[in-house]
Every structure is written in structure tokens, then in C-alpha cells.
């Protein structure tokens, strides 16, 4: 479903009216286009501590124009070109008095950001630090990042990455995602990066040689995920209920993939799935999901049971079975489609919210188990995404869902798909047991 307000707010008349009455002014977000080679299309500015110099070493692979850390040319606010991406290393900050470096670095450049600029702050996991003063200062980065993300305009985003020292030389994969339009609808997020034994060898096809299963792939977000994984080189296997066979087969034909007609809640779903995948699997995306909304007072057992069965019990059972049978190969990647509703809760969605919060628990609980075989499991929590599901919402709720976020709009299925594709990469073994929100920094659950 299209959001005509964005076009209006960006027209000459709309811009003046929106500014005069203080309405939200969402920007047209830049998104990744096929055939693009470099993640950053414009100047990249590096600053702060020693990790900036590490990024400078491979900055030429990210962009044609980088400034800041030696040996790169320097950049001066107001004089240098507008900046498309920024990395500030705050990992060296050991005392809260030094936090002023954040103000000194970011304040002058706010007005020199290009449209849809992507900013990234690097830090150290506060819990990994023995020095209490360093713990406090590193923890402070989170409040700063989330607040600055809310102040940015024109489609700019900002995230905080806590990097384990052993991962200092493995930043490229995360930067390729967070500094590029692939993370157009991700903002105000905090993630932890650990070292990872495997890395991507060909950035034009980071999933080459990998076999990926996507459930609920016939339409909406699932179809976008299948398309994006195929774009990145994966061989895709699309699964949906038998009633969706027509759409599923049409998509599989376009992507050169194959299909599995299966209700993931069927009593023999695990056996049938394992049977259909004799050569094993590298990536599983549990995307199939349903809503059956009612306030708890009116909730029928059927509504409760069906939502829990599709959204939580099936992913739980199938993941366990794929892992136990060895169908999910070593270094496998599991991605669960949660929701910001699982974080914030929502009136009339106690069943859905329980299922989606349960998926976050599943990522946390299964991560150590899967780590024994180099595999990871993470949850992606979309906020308001323009799909068939959200088109059914009443107008008022739909508008609130779109505007109550820092980016002032709903996301596209592609935004969720890009996050899933990043977590599915070999090098993303650095991230496990975590939740990545794709919600434009929605106020819900923030």
C-alpha cells in the first residue's frame, strides 16, 4: 500500500504547510538498487578513537570518497562536501568526562549531512569492562545514540555497535549494512558484535553457495526476503500453505528456486520438511505468521491457539528438528520474524504479542545451543511495514503506526528483507541471540 502523505509532504506546497503547522515531514528514503557496487554513494567521514584508523584501511571498498582518520584527507564542517555516512569510534572513552567528544564531533556535522545519511557509533560492551568508570561511560553511549537518532532529519539514521576487541578487524560486513541504504528503515538500534570464524568472500554475492528456506514466502515480507536472498546469491526454497501454491510457484520460477507446499503446523511438518531437504540447509527464515486480534476478554481458544501455533510453536519445533537431524548445516543461520508488538505489546493482540515476544526468547535461548556448531539465531522485529497485513488496519491506527517513529513513515518489505539477508551472511556469525528492530525507530517499545 502506498503512503501518499510522503509525496505530499515533499511537494512545494506540502513542505510549506507541514512546516507551518508542525506536522511530521517524512523524507523519501534511499533504498538499495540492484547493480550498485559500493555501499556508500558519497563522502564517508571517520572520527574518534583507534577503530577509525582500522576502518580507514578498507574505506576504499565502501566509498570512493573518505575523510577523517589518517591517512585520509581531513574534513571541515561547512567547508567539506555534505556527508553521506559517518563512523565515530567511541570505544576509547573510559570516563564520562570524555563523553564531551560526542558533542564536539557530531554537533558541527549535523547540518552537513546529505539526504538519507547513515551514522554509526562504535563502542565496547559495558558488561565486558572491568573498570566501573569505563562501564558507565560506554553505557552512556546508548542514551546519546538513541536521542541523536531521534533528532536527525531527511531520512538519516544512527546506530550503536558494541564491538568485542577480537572483532576489531571484522567490521566490514556490519558497515556494509549499517552505512548503506540496506538499513534505510533501521535507526536507534544497539547491537553487539563478536568475532566470527567465517567471513564473506565475494561481496557481490555474499550468500553464494548457500541454501535458504523461507516460510510464508508466497507474498509480503516473505516474498521480499526470498527475492533478496536470491539476489545475494542464495539458492532459495520457498514454503507456504498449499492454498498459496500458485503465487509461490510463480515467484520460485522467477527466482530459480523451488517450492514446498506445507502447513508448518501440520503434525508431521518436521518430518516432511526434513524429507524435502535431503541435502541440508544453511539458512532458515521463519517468516510465516498470522494475526487473530481480539481483546483478551473476547479471545476464543481458537484465536489464541492458532496464533501461538503458527508464530511460535512451529518455528520452535521445526528449528529443533532441523538442528537435531543435522539438516541445518554447521555455520547455519536462523532468522525469526518477530515484531515490535512483541516488545511494546498492543491492545487486542495479547496472543500475537506473546508469540512474537516468545520468538525473541527463542533467539536468546537457542543461541548458545546453535553456537556449538557455529550456527546463529536472531530475531528481526519489524515495526509498521506496508503490506497486506497493515493495509487491513483501520485508518487511524494505520496513520499512527506510520507516523509515530523517527522516520515518520512505514517501512517497505525490502527493508525487513535486507536486515534478514545481512543476518544470513557468513560473517554475521558475529551476531547471535539478538533482536534487530526494523521500525524507523518507532516510539512503540522504545
Which residues lie near ligand NAD (CB under 6 A)?
215-216, 218-222, 240-241, 244, 263-265, 287-290, 310, 337, 339, 382, 384-385, 387-390
Question: How far is residue 114's CA from residue 154's CA, in Å, rounded to a whole number?
Answer: 8
Half-sphere exposure of 3 (CA within 13 A, CB side): 25
Nearest of 90, 89, 61, 57 to residue 71 by alpha carbon: 57
Nearer Cβ to ligand NAD (99/290): 290
For the four alpha carbons of 398, 399, 400 and 406, in that order, the dihedral sign comes to positive
CA 204 from chain center: how many Å?
A: 19
Cell triple for 442: 518507532
- Minimum distance from residue 289 beta carbon to ligand NAD (Å): 2
Nearer Cβ to ligand NAD (154/305): 305
List residues bridging with 286 in a β-sheet. Answer: 336
C-alpha distances (whole Å) from 21 to each of 16, 18, 280 are 9, 5, 57
CA 227 from chain center: how many Å?
A: 16
Cell triple for 147: 536521542
How many residues comprise the chain? 446
> DSSP states of 429-443 as a string?
GG--S-EEEESSSBS
Catalytic residue among 5, 67, 162, 352: 352
Nearer Cβ to ligand NAD (308/337): 337
Nearer Cβ to ligand NAD (9/273): 273
Catalytic (active site) residue 352: yes
- Minimum distance from residue 398 beta carbon to ligand NAD (Å): 10
- Minimum distance from residue 185 beta carbon to ligand NAD (Å): 11
Nearer Cβ to ligand NAD (49/382): 382
Cell triple for 109: 556535522
> DSSP states of 234-303 as a string?
-EEEEEE-GGGHHHHHHHHHHHT-EEEE--TTSTTHHHHHHHH-TT-EEEEEE-------B-GGG--HHH
Nearer Cβ to ligand NAD (129/313): 313
Nearer Cβ to ligand NAD (27/290): 290
- Minimum distance from residue 390 beta carbon to ligand NAD (Å): 4
- Minimum distance from residue 310 beta carbon to ligand NAD (Å): 5
Nearer Cβ to ligand NAD (180/412): 412
Question: Exposed (0-12), middle (13-18) or buried (19+): which is 351, by Cβ within 10 Å?
Answer: buried
- Minimum distance from residue 106 beta carbon to ligand NAD (Å): 31
* Rounded-to-10 torsion of CA 146, 402, 183, 283: 110
- φ, ψ for residue 88 (rounded to 5)? -120, 120
How far does the chain reach from its first CA to its final CA, in angstroms?
Answer: 25
- Minimum distance from residue 36 beta carbon to ligand NAD (Å): 25
Q: Which residue has the cell 543461541?
A: 367
- Minimum distance from residue 131 beta carbon to ligand NAD (Å): 39
Question: How far is residue 343's CA from residue 39's CA, in Å, rounded to a whole number?
Answer: 30
- Minimum distance from residue 264 beta carbon to ligand NAD (Å): 4
Question: Residue 73 carries which DSSP code?
Answer: P
Nearer Cβ to ligand NAD (175/357): 357
Q: Judge whether 145 and 190 are in contact, CB under 8 Å.
A: yes
Catalytic amino acids? 352
Amino acid at each position: 500500500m502506498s503512503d501518499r502523505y510522503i509525496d505530499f509532504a515533499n511537494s512545494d506546497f506540502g513542505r510549506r504547510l507541514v512546516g507551518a503547522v508542525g506536522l511530521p515531514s517524512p523524507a523519501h528514503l534511499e533504498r538499495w538498487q540492484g547493480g550498485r557496487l559500493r555501499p556508500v554513494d558519497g563522502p564517508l567521514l571517520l572520527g574518534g578513537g583507534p577503530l577509525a584508523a582500522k576502518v580507514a584501511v578498507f574505506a576504499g571498498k565502501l566509498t570512493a570518497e573518505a575523510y577523517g582518520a589518517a591517512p585520509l584527507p581531513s574534513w571541515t564542517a561547512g567547508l567539506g562536501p555534505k556527508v553521506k555516512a559517518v563512523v565515530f569510534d567511541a570505544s576509547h572513552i573510559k570516563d564520562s568526562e570524555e563523553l564531551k567528544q560526542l558533542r564536539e564531533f557530531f554537533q558541527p556535522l549535523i547540518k552537513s549531512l546529505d539526504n538519507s545519511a547513515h551514522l554509526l557509533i562504535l563502542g565496547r560492551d559495558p558488561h565486558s569492562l572491568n573498570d566501573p568508570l569505563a562501564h558507565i561511560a560506554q553505557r552512556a553511549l546508548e542514551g546519546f545514540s538513541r536521542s541523536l537518532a531521534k533528532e536527525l532529519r531527511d531520512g538519516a539514521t544512527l546506530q550503536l555497535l558494541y564491538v568485542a576487541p577480537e572483532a576489531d578487524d571484522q567490521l566490514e560486513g556490519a558497515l556494509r549494512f549499517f552505512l548503506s541504504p540496506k538499513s534505510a528503515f533501521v535507526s536507534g538500534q544497539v547491537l553487539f558484535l563478536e568475532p566470527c570464524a567465517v567471513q564473506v568472500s565475494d561481496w557481490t554475492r555474499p550468500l553464494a553457495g548457500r541454501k535458504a528456506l523461507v516460510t510464508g514466502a508466497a507474498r509480503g515480507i516473505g516474498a521480499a526476503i526470498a527475492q533478496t536472498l536470491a539476489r545475494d546469491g542464495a539458492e532459495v526454497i520457498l514454503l507456504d500453505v498449499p492454498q498459496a501454491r500458485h503465487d509461490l510457484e510463480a515467484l520460485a520460477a522467477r527466482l530459480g528456486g523451488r517450492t514446498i507446499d506445507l502447513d508448518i503446523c501440520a503434525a508431521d511438518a518436521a518430518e516432511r520438511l526434513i524429507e524435502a531437504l535431503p541435502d541440508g540447509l544453511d539458512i532458515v527464515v521463519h517468516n510465516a505468521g498470522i494475526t487473530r486480534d481480539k481483546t483478551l476478554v473476547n479471545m476464543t481458544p481458537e484465536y489464541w491457539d492458532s496464533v501461538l501455533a503458527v508464530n511460535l510453536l512451529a518455528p520452535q519445533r521445526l528449528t529443533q528438528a532441523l538442528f537435531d537431524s543435522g539438516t541445518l548445516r554447521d555455520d547455519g543461520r536462523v532468522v525469526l520474524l518477530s515484531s515490535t508488538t512483541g516488545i511494546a505489546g498492543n491492545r487486542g493482540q495479547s496472543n500475537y504479542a506473546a508469540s512474537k515476544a516468545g520468538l525473541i526468547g527463542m533467539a536468546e535461548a537457542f543461541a548458545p545451543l546453535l553456537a556449538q556448531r557455529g550456527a546463529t539465531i536472531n530475531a528481526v522485529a519489524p515495526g509498521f511495514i506496508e503490506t497486506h497485513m497493515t493495509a487491513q488496519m483501520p485508518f487511524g491506527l494505520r496513520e499512527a503506526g506510520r507516523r509515530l517513529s523517527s522516520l515518520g513513515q512505514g517501512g517497505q518489505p525490502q527493508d525487513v528483507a535486507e536486515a534478514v539477508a545481512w543476518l544470513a551472511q557468513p560473517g554475521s556469525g558475529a551476531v547471535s541471540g539478538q533482536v534487530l528492530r526494523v521500525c524507523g525507530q518507532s516510539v512503540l517499545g522504545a
